[in-house]
Homo-oligomer: A and B are copies of this chain.
Amino acid sequence: MRICVQEAPFDFGAETAAFAAGRSVSGAVVTFTGIVRDVTGGLVAMEIEHYPGMTEAALGEICSTAITRWSLEDALVIHRHGRLETGEMIMMVATAARHRKDAFEAAEFLMDYLKSRAPFWKREITAQGADWVAARDEDEDALTRW
């Protein structure tokens, strides 16, 4: 298990390659990457605030839960904070399991939980100013699946 909370960009290709190459028993590797998008138009940048200390603890706990529940060989979470431009990668998760169903479910679980249970707060910077992104009911609802 590896948890990285960092301001610097990460090398998605190198991270996925290293994660997959490190496997010894897994037949299935799933990755997810989130990218900053200008959905409404006019986005200049995204700023991500977090709670140092609690962030790492929360991600570690979510990751450990996933590893146990889906018998993962390994899991990886990288999440950036600070200022990100459109097109930059915000975060990634990777899961490795014997079977594809477990790798997929665990990756979706990690995403659902770190959306609503890891202490990050996004703010969208536009020409008009800065707005905190509101949590969406559907992100909270997604947790009921697990």
Binding site for B on A (CB under 8 A): 11-14, 16-18, 20, 23-37, 39, 87, 89, 98, 100, 103-104, 107-108, 111
Residues on B with beta carbons closer than 8 Å to the beta carbon of A23 = 35, 87
Which residue of B31, B37, B103 is within 8 Å of A26 (Cβ)?
B37
Oligomer copy total: 2
Residue pair A35, B26 in contact (C-beta under 8 Å)? yes
Contact of A37 among B25, B89, B111 (CB under 8 A): B25
Chain B residue numbers with a CB within 8 Å of A18 are 13
Cα A104 to Cα B30 in complex, Å, equals: 10
How far is the CB of A30 from the nearest CB of chain B, in Å?
Answer: 5
Q: Of B37, B87, B98, which contacts A39 at CB under 8 A?
A: B98
Partner of A35, one of B11, B20, B33, B34: B20
